[in-house]
Amino acid sequence: MATHFEVTERTRLRRRPARGAYDEASVFAILDAGLIAHVGYTEGGAPRVIATAYWREGRTLYWHGAAGSQALRAQAGGIPVCVTVSHLDGLVLGRSGFAHSVLYRSVMAFGNTREVESREEKRSAMDNFLERLYPGRTREIRPVRDAELDMIAVIALPIDEASAKIRGGGVNEKEEDLAAPGWAGIIPVETRLCAVYTDERVAGVAVAASVGAYAEGAALGAVLVRNARLNGA
Amino acid sequence: MATHFEVTERTRLRRRPARGAYDEASVFAILDAGLIAHVGYTEGGAPRVIATAYWREGRTLYWHGAAGSQALRAQAGGIPVCVTVSHLDGLVLGRSGFAHSVLYRSVMAFGNTREVESREEKRSAMDNFLERLYPGRTREIRPVRDAELDMIAVIALPIDEASAKIRGGGVNEKEEDLAAPGWAGIIPVETRLCAVYTDERVAGVAVAASVGAYAEGAALGAVLVRNARLNGA
């Protein structure tokens, strides 16, 4: 099994190639640290981008929604999509407008969608999603019902091509600006968890063990990656 | 001047219409709280979604990049795009798989791009972007040079159609699940600023006044909205 995605015309980073990566480890790390993907497709000849929760199993991405959703009905037919996941890591300020930038990690993944059609496969996919987010959750709640499965559509995207793009590092200033007065620096940004709160209708019940890793102040991305690894992702 | 975006076939929320909003205040609040947009367009007949920093002036979105960028060259020609901005606000867990969800705010904006071509308009746009992020920043650094302006492309998107979609609230469980054992609740998520750090090459210089609002622990979205308002957005 190849551990790199093939570099193609549309995934090859032409500018600043050092920021690109095509190995599974880099691509998966960025995908697994995210919860919301932006799925681009063409509908009625026009581009459309939906934000949706997603998860990954091997080289396949999944998302789901209401069976009647216009977006999912379009995708169920099997269409080319581009899925982009991005994480903002910081703001960069230099001593010229040009040296201002942002720190980020992102992945673009291309492929053709397919609908997950059988109830068995849908049930398995949705259980995997729950377990991937909250290890053990499926054993804490009742099984999903057939009627519930029938109300949703699950879309799978076998990834044909993918690339990661990472802007890390510090401030990149031109030599001539280094002697200029003024300040330059970085403002790191993190997406963190707040204190879990219990729904008022379950007062008196201990917080579920499956959310144990979602500790107040923890970085969301780190928790998601940890839980993905627990599920063998 | 209309204060609502016209509801069109492609922006009307068919499912859960109560989660939709079309007024400028709702749409702008979500756009102004963001820094990274996902821009979808069609290139060579296939969908493509790029993550890019953006800003808003009135009903126009802007983004920029290297003049040689393939994406920006395609967009400079004037093409239909869909720009989606989303904010994750929390994870929702209920006592059935079905009752699991996420809290989010998102905007989809549609229109046709145009390139900002003259140096004057580019200079003004880029200065506006800096001021929008860091009020006063353009007076702290040297002016942008013509040669620098020539190295970038600035894309403007006059928004023709837009809608906001907001999933707030709490856990939505079915009546029959309310009596079930187990836990239900919410894990709020916030994107916050870490401590600003100064580039080692400017040691001894005070942190710029223009980043004053970027206080450690502050919510990024709130700071961005505040600074946008200072700039009359």
Report the distance separating Cα A23 and Cα B90, nearest Å.
Answer: 31
Closest by alpha carbon to B9, among A81, A52, A39, A46? A46
Give the mean pLDDT of B152-169: 97
Which A-chain residues 116-175 have CB contacts (< 8 A) with chain B?
126-127, 130, 133-134, 137-138, 140-142, 144, 148, 151, 170-171, 173
Q: Decide if pLDDT at B208 tops 80.
A: yes
ipTM for the complex shown = 0.96
Question: Which residues, 6+ apart, have CB-to-CB distance to B141 below 8 Å?
Answer: A94, A95, A96, A97, A180, A182
Closest by alpha carbon to B46, among A115, A138, A108, A124? A108
Q: Which of A15, A49, A105, A133 to mutate to test the interface with B (most CBs of B within 10 A)?
A: A49
For A95-152, how does the pLDDT look when each residue is reduced to its tens digit (9 = 90+)?
999 999 999 999 999 999 999 999 999 999 999 999 999 999 999 999 999 999 999 9
CB contact under 8 A, B97 and A130: yes
CB proximity A184 to B under 8 Å: yes
Q: Decide if pLDDT at B182 tops 80.
A: yes
Helix axes B220-230, B119-133, angle to 10 degrees: 130
Closest by alpha carbon to A43, among A13, A71, A21? A71
Residue A118, judged by CB atoms within 10 A of its CB (0-12, 13-18, 19+), counts as exposed
* Cβ–Cβ < 8 Å for B180, A166: no
Q: Decide if pLDDT at B232 tops 90.
A: no
Query: Sorting pLDDT into bands at 50, 70 and 90, what band is A1?
Result: low
Q: Which of B38, B63, B119 to mutate to test the interface with A (most CBs of A within 10 A)?
A: B38
CB contact under 8 A, A142 and B177: yes
CB contact under 8 A, B50 and A211: no
For A189-220, how does the pLDDT look when each residue is reduced to its tens digit (9 = 90+)?
999 999 999 999 997 899 999 999 999 999 99
Q: How far is B38 from chain A (nearest CA, A)?
A: 7
Q: How far is B3 from chain A (nearest CA, A)?
A: 24
- pLDDT score at A185: 97
Residue B144 backbone dihedrals phi, psi, to 5 degrees: -70, 145
How far, CA to CA in Å, does B9 sit from each of B6, B12, B162?
10, 6, 11
Residue A167 backbone dihedrals phi, psi, to 5 degrees: -110, 100
* Cβ–Cβ < 8 Å for B16, B106: no
Assign B55 to helix, strand or coil: strand
For A19-36, how does the pLDDT look when each residue is reduced to its tens digit (9 = 90+)?
899 999 999 999 999 999
Q: Decide if pLDDT at B99 tops 70.
A: yes
The full set of domains in chain B, from first to last, is: 17-189 (2.30.110.10)
Q: pTM for this structure? A: 0.96
Tracing tokens 């690894």 back to the chain, one arrives at A229
Give the mean pLDDT of B105-121: 97
- pLDDT score at B197: 94
Query: Sorting pLDDT into bands at 50, 70 and 90, what band is B1?
Result: low
Chain-wide mean pLDDT for chain B?
95
Give the mean pLDDT of B156-174: 95
* Cβ–Cβ < 8 Å for B152, B65: yes
Residue A121 backbone dihedrals phi, psi, to 5 degrees: -70, -35
- pLDDT score at A5: 95
Query: Sorting pLDDT into bands at 50, 70 and 90, what band is A180?
Result: confident
Give the mean pLDDT of B70-97: 97
Closest by alpha carbon to A61, among A34, A21, A89, A23? A34
Q: Decide if pLDDT at A2 tops 80.
A: no
